[in-house]
Structure 1
Amino acid sequence: MTSQSGEEDDESRSPDGDRLARGRARLAEITGRSGAEVMAALGEVAPDFARYIFEFGYGDIYSRPGLDLRTRMLATVAGLVALGHARRELEVHIGSALNVGASREEVVEVIMQMALYAGFPAALDALLVAKEVFAARDAAPAPEDAGRSDGT
């Protein structure tokens, strides 16, 4: 589409397009995935909601200065533990915390700390999610081995 000034309207030239691109890049940096599955999963029911996740969540909030990604992800894990009803997101964000440099011990300590504020049931559930995330990582092939099919 062409604007009144004769320039091409382009998603990447608009402020929202910048937020979307920045959000997609930040999500990929944190999770190691593009987020295309989120867009596809919500595409039929709420495509705008998926865009909001990218633009606001990752393009604005996760891209702010002031905290490094490791600290942001540990804070996110704490918040999700406190909610007590976000298992899917907790699983993703525990993995993301590990992706950006948090140790397993730090993740466990953050979850245990939340027992004081979110209660023991929420912390227990979160520790079991962390155990599953850790086990899945231990079972996954190393990145350099992922493409091998000869068993070496």
Structure 2
Amino acid sequence: MTQSFSNAANSRLERGKRALAEIDGEAGHKVIAALADIAPDFADYVFEFSFGDIYSRPGLDLRAREVATIAALAAMGNAAPQLKVHIEAGLNVGLSRAEITEILMQMAVYAGFPAALNGLFAAKEVFAARDMAA
């Protein structure tokens, strides 16, 4: 019984690592690496639950998942670092800059203008960084 649990946990971890690489690329790995010296187990939880279980579910494609994630993080109004990572992820999975801008503008209706503005400024930073790297 212990062996099958271990194999299931490893498959969740491996599935999560593959999903993170596909979705977030370098930005996601930087977040995970930043946890290494303070909470390495938490990094595994992020891999296993967020990416191995939730992002890997068949119900939505990665574009739809990133639309939801960008909207939720922008609406929170206090998650700019995570929002930037997921704006990057949105671009990685095929969202256009115009689509991301529209998602963030939509947040003005439901989360208020400050949340939308903060989201738009986060997107502006991500877009500028991508332009500089190109």
TM-score by length of 2: 0.91
Partners in 1 of 2:28 and 2:4 — Cα distance? Answer: 21
For residues 1-150 of structure 1, the aligned pairs below 5 Å read: 14-33=7-26, 35-141=28-134
The sequence identity of aligned pairs, in percent, is 58
Q: Secondary structure at the match of 2:57?
A: coil
- Structure label with greater radius of gyration: 1
Shift of the alpha carbon at 1:65?
Answer: 0.5
The structure where helix makes up a greater share of residues is 2
- Structure 1 residues 123 and 34: CA distance shift in structure 2, 3 A: closer
Structure 1: runs of 5+ lacking an equivalent:
142-152
Partners in 2 of 1:26 and 1:34 — Cα distance? Answer: 13
Partners in 1 of 2:88 and 2:40 — Cα distance? Answer: 25
- Structure 1 residues 65 and 131: CA distance shift in structure 2, 3 A: same
Paired amino acid for 1:71: A
What is the CA RMSD across the aligned residues, in angstroms?
2.2
Partners in 2 of 1:125 and 1:31 — Cα distance? Answer: 21
TM-score by length of 1: 0.80
Structure 2: runs of 5+ lacking an equivalent:
none
